[in-house]
Structure 1
Amino acid sequence: MRRVDGEGPLIAQRRMSDGLRTVSALVLDVVRQMYAAYGAIDLRWKDGRPYLPHPGVVLIDEVDAHLHVSWQQSIGEWFKVHFPAVQFIVSTHSPYVCQAADPGGLIRLPGPDEDVPPEVVDEKLFGRVVYGSGDDAVLSDFFGLLSPFSRRAESMREELADLEYDVAAGDADEATMRRFRELRRTLSSSQATYVEDASLRARRRETDGS
C-alpha cells in the first residue's frame, strides 16, 4: 500500500503520521486475515459506509499508541461500524478509547503489585467512564488518577484558595489582591476547574471550622 484515500485527497503512506500508518496497517491486517479465513471479501454498504460482515475475534494491544486524542475517541466506534461482526479485545490506557466499550465490556487488569484477578467494572463505574467526560474517566477508580491538573497548577490552585479565603475575610492588602486576580486569570479554564476549586474551598472551610 502506497496511498490512502482519507476524508480529502490521497495521502502518500510515507507522509502519514505514525498514528495513521499504525491504523492503516491494522485495518489491512484485519482484512487480510478475513480473506485468508473466508476466501473472499464480501464488501457491503450501509448508510454510505463500507463494512465487512465476516465474524471474528481481534486482539489489539495498546490501540491508542501514537494516536491523536480525537482518533482515540473515534477509533473504537470506527471499528464497530466497519467490522460489526467482529469482537475486538483491546488494551488501552486511554479514557477516550474506553468510551467505545459495550456494556460489560470494560475489564480492569490488576497492576504489577496487585494480587487480584481481572474484573469487569460495575454498572456505575461503566457509566462514569463511557458516558462521562475524559476527566470523569481518569479520576475514577478505573484509572486512579488523583487530579487532572499538573503539579504546578495544583500548587497555584492551593495558593488561590488561600488568597480567596483572605479576600472573603477582608484581610487582603493590595499585593494580595493583585496576586489573587492574576491567579484567577491564569486558572480560569473550564467548568471542571470551577467545580474542583469550589470543592477545595468547601473542604478548607470545613477544616477551619472544625
Structure 2
Amino acid sequence: MCTFLLRSEFGTREVKMYVRRLKIRDLRVFRTAEVDLLYPGREQNESFEDVSRWPPRLDNVNVFLGNNGSGKSTLLSAVALSLMSPIAPSSGYRPRSLIRRSARGQVKSAEVSTEVVLHQQDGGRDGNASTFAAQILRRGDIEFLQPSTDVVDEQFFEDDNSAFFFVGYGATRRTEVLSANDLASRRKARAVRYERVASLFEEHFALTPISAWLPRWRDENPGRYKQVANLLKRLMPPSISFTEELEGGEYLFGYRTLRLPYSALSDGYRLYIGWIGDLLYHLCMGAPSGFKLVESRGVVMVDEVDLHIHPAWQRTLIPTLSRTLKNIQFIFTTHSPLLVSTLERSNIYNVMLGSGPTPEVRRPEEETFGLSADQLLRSEVFGLDSSRDPEFADKLRDLSQAAERGERGAALAFLRGASAGGGEDPPEAGDAPEWLKSFGERSKAL
C-alpha cells in the first residue's frame, strides 16, 4: 500500500504536482511499461543521461509516438487512472476492458502508478515525491478501480480547488452549448477530478465551452476575466483572433475580415479552442483570488493533439503551448512529423510494436529537432522506407534497378520521376529535361 500524508508538510497551501514516472502492469496492450517524463525543473538523471542538451528547450513537453494500436492512448489513460485513484469509488468512472487479454486469456488484475513531484504554489524547484497507485480488478463481467493510496491531503477531495491539478482530453473531444444548470448537473454524475479527464474514457463527453462561464466574469471578476482573455489571445492559432465580442450567446472570433461565432469555425479551430477553453475553465475554478493563471502548475494530457490541424499551424502549435503555459507539464500523442520537428529527442517517446508480447517505450537515438517531415518519416521515429506512394515508390525502385543494368532511358526516367513526381508517363531517353542535359554535358567534360 502506498501511503502519504501532506497536510503536516503543506498545511492548506495549494499543492501542485508533476508526473515524474509512470509504471504499468497488464493494462490493455502492455504487459509492463515504465516511463520517466519531463517536467519544468527536472534534474537530469540516468533516464536522460544520453541527452546532450539539458534542460531541453521545451522542458515541459512529452510526446508519445507510435503506430495505431501501439498503446499511446493507453499511456495517457494510465496517468489519469492513477492520479484520480483516491476518488475512484465515488468518481462516476466505470472501468471497462482495461485488464490485458493475452492468448492464454485475460489476466486477473492490472496495476498503474505514478510517482509525482509535489510543489507548493510559491515553492522552489525541488518538491516532495509521492506515489498515486491503483489496481484494476475483475469480478465476473465487472472491472473496478481500487486505490492503493490510503491518505491524500484533504484538498484533493475539494471540487473547487486547483491543488493536485490534472486534466486530459481524448481524441473524440468536443464541445457543446452548456447552460449554468448543465454545469451544475454534471457534478451530480461525476466528481470534478474525473470530469477533468472524462473525455479520455467517454467518447461522447462534452467539454465546457468558454461561452458557458466566461461572460459573467467580465462584471463579477474583471481581473480574472482579463487574465483568461489575454491567455486566449496568446494561445490562438494563426489567422484567428479572440475578439471578446458576444453574439447570440457565442463568442465571436476574427478570421481575416470576418467575425465568426465559435460554432461557425472549422473543425480544427473548434477542437483546439474547445479544449483550451475547458482547460482555462478548470484552472480558474480552483485558483485562489489574486493568483496569476499563467503561473499555474499541473498536468495536461491531450490525445492526438494535431487533430484536424493544418501543417502550417502544426509547426508552431507545441512551442506556443509550452512557452505560454511554461509551468504546465504537457503529455501529448501525435502522428505528425511536423510537430516532432519542433521537439528534441528528449521530448519524444516511441511506443514500438516489436516481436515481443508487449510494446516497448523508448526514446529515439537520432536527434529530431529541425529535421524535415520527409527525414523524420524515413527515420527510426516513424520507420517508413519511403514517404512516397507505395506503387510509385515501387516503379522508381524498378527504374533504379533497370538503370543499374544499363537499360536505355531508365536513368533519365528515374531522375524525372524522382524530381517531378508521376504526373506524366516516364520519359524516353531523348526527353530529358534541360537541367539534366546540361548536367550531363558538364559531367562529360569532367
Query: Under a length normalisation based on structure 1, what TM-score does the superposition of the two structures give?
Result: 0.67
Which residue, out of 271, 277, 292, partners 1:22? Answer: 271
Query: What secondary structure, in the 3-state scheme, does the structure 2 residue paired with 1:109 have?
Result: strand
Structure 2: which amino acid aligns with 1:140? Answer: S
CA RMSD of aligned residues (A): 3.0
Given that residues 160 and 184 in structure 1 are in contact (C-alpha distance below 8 angstroms), is that contact kept between their aligned partners in structure 2?
Answer: no
**Which digits, 9 at most, give the CA deviation of each residue in 1:137-168, with x for residues without a partner?**
122222222211111221221233244335xx
- Report the CA distance shift for 1:147/1:102 in structure 2 as closer, same or farther (over 3 A): closer
Unaligned 5+ segments in structure 2 are 1-210, 212-249, 422-446
Match of 1:34 in 2: 283
1:87–1:7 CA distance, 2 compared to 1 (3 A) = farther
Aligned to 1:111: 353
Q: Deviations over 1:31-88 (max 9, x none)?
A: 1121023146736xxxxxxxx2222210001111211122222211111122111111
Aligned position for 1:93: 335
Greater per-residue strand proportion: 2
In structure 1, distance between residues paired with 2:279 and 2:384 = 34
Asked if the contact 1:95/1:137 (under 8 Å) is kept, the reply is yes
Cα distance change on mapping 1:8 and 1:36 into 2, 3 Å = farther
Paired position in structure 2 for 1:49: none
Aligned-partner Cα distance in 1 for 2:258–2:273: 16
Secondary structure (helix, strand or coil) at the match of 1:34 reads helix
- The alpha-carbon distance between structure 1 residues 165 and 109, as it changes in their structure 2 partners (threshold 3 A), is closer
Determine if the alignment matches structure 1 residue 155 to structure 2 residue 394.
Answer: yes
Going from structure 1 to structure 2, the CA distance change for 1:187 and 1:101 (only over 3 Å counts) comes to closer
* Closer, same or farther: CA 84–10 of 1 in aligned 2, 3 Å: farther
Gap change, CA 1:82 and 1:132, over 3 Å in 2: same
Q: Higher relative CO (CA 8 A, sep ≥ 6), structure 1 or 2?
A: 2
Instruction: Supply the distance in 2 between the matched residues of 1:32 and 1:15 (Cα, whole angstroms).
Output: 22
SS in 2 for 1:104: helix
Tell whether the 8 Å contact from 1:54 to 1:83 is kept in structure 2 after alignment. Answer: yes
Equivalent of residue 59 in structure 1, options 269, 284, 301: 301
The letter for the 2-side match of 1:187 is A
Q: 1:183 to 1:8 in 2, by over 3 A?
A: farther
Farther off after superposition, 95-104 or 4-13: 4-13
Kindly tell me: are residues 31 and 7 of structure 1, through their superposed partners in 2, closer, same or farther at Cα, counting changes over 3 Å? Answer: farther
Kindly state the Cα deviation for residue 89 of structure 1 after the two structures are TM-superposed.
Answer: 0.3
Identify which range, 64-73 or 5-14, moves more after superposition. 5-14
Distance in 1 of aligned mates of 2:360 and 2:254: 40
Residues 134 and 5 (structure 1), Cα distance of their counterparts in 2 relative to 1, 3 Å cut? same
Residue 104 of structure 1 contacts residue 120 of structure 1 at CA under 8 Å; is this kept in 2?
no
Gaps of 5+ in 1: 44-51, 191-210
DSSP 3-state at the match of 2:299 = strand
Identity over aligned pairs, percent: 20
Letter in 2 for 1:152: E
Q: Aligned equivalents of 2:351 and 2:404: distance in 1?
A: 42
Q: What is aligned with 2:314?
A: 72
Distance in 1 between residues matched to 2:357 and 2:296, nearest whole Å: 38
- Distance in 2 between residues matched to 1:89 and 1:56, nearest whole Å: 11
Write the letter of the residue equivalent to 1:33.
H
Matched residue of 2:369: which SS?
A: helix
TM-score, normalised relative to structure 2: 0.34
Report the Cα distance in structure 2 between the residues aligned to 1:161 and 1:112, rounded to whole angstroms. Answer: 31
Among candidates 386, 400, 418, match of residue 187 of structure 1: 418
Partner of 1:202: none
For the Cα contact (< 8 Å) 1:160–1:183, is it kept in 2? Answer: yes
SS in 2 for 1:130: coil
CA distance in 1, matches of 2:345, 2:418: 37
* Structure 2 CA distance for partners of 1:100 and 1:33, relative to 1, 3 Å: farther
Distance 1:141 1:116 in 2: 19
Deviation at 1:18, TM superposition (A): 1.0
Deviation at 1:99, TM superposition (A): 2.9
Q: For 1:86-108, what per-residue CA distance to the aligned partner results, in whole angstroms no more than 9, with x for missing partners?
A: 11100111122223335522112
Pair 144,162 (structure 1): closer, same or farther in 2 beyond 3 Å: closer
Of 108-117 and 80-89, more deviation after overlay is shown by: 108-117
> 1:58 & 1:7 partners in 2: Cα distance?
31
